[in-house]
Amino acid sequence: MPEFLDFLHHKYAYVAIGEFQPGRFAEAQRLYEKAVSTYKEGFKGAYLLQKPNSDEGIAIIIWKNIEDMEANQNEAYRKFLEEMGPLFVKPPVTDFYEVCSEIGGFEGNQ
């Protein structure tokens, strides 16, 4: 019954909310996509949201568990974060959330 047990196990979302320097959102998006492309075990999907006509955004990265996220923080990941840091107006607000409801979900990653 692994499918039923998987249903009972909640995923986790890493959420970062921030604002980039004027006109730098596209550069930050490129770095975000490169960083996300390095993720392996436990990675379930990612979204990058941009408030229209602004440089404000929300990054949401879904993980099977928090330990998988920590395990994916390799040298490439740290390099992308280092490059992205100066693009922010101020450090983003970050936190973890348990995914309590998932409707539709990420196809192919469930």
pLDDT at 93 over 50: yes
pLDDT at 18 over 80: yes
pLDDT at 1 over 50: no
pLDDT at 46 over 90: yes
Please tell me the distance from the alpha carbon of residue 63 to that of residue 41, in angstroms, as a whole number: 9
What value, to the nearest 5°, has the Cα angle with vertex 36 and ends 33 and 40? 150
User: What domains can you pick out in the chain, each with its CATH number?
Assistant: 17-98 (3.30.70.100)
Report in angstroms the alpha-carbon separations of 103 from 20, 47, 110.
30, 15, 12
Residue with more model confidence, 45 or 4: 45
pLDDT of residue 105: 57
Position 17 confidence tier, pLDDT thresholds 50, 70, 90 = very high
Contact in structure between 50 and 70 (CB atoms under 8 Å): no
pLDDT of residue 75: 83
Q: Report which residue type is found at 35.
A: A
Position 97 confidence tier, pLDDT thresholds 50, 70, 90 = very high
Helix (H), strand (E) at residue 64: none
